[in-house]
Amino acid sequence: MSSNYYRRGRNPTTAFGVLFIIIGVIAAVRQLAVWSPDFFVQFLFNSEITSEKVSVITICVGVFIVLIGLRKHEQER
């Protein structure tokens, strides 16, 4: 094997990011099932902190964590 070969091992960072995304999607779908999409959008854009905003923030944090986990790994020499 060459010294330039980089084998991606298990990456817990990406797994945590996917977990955050799944949790956010479940919360958003639950709110859409309980309320109509009109209420979902209304709650999303009002001035109070609501479950809809928290679920969107959770999805964004999950995407950020996945991007951190997928960045290139530089091996120390």
Report pLDDT digits (tens) over 32-54. 999 888 988 898 899 999 989 99
* C-alpha–C-alpha distance, residues 31 and 25, integer Å: 10
Residue 30 CB neighbour total at 10 angstroms = 12
pLDDT given at position 70: 84
pLDDT given at position 22: 97
Say whether pTM exceeds 0.85: no
Q: Which residues of the chain carry a pLDDT beneath 50?
A: none
* C-alpha–C-alpha distance, residues 56 and 24, integer Å: 7
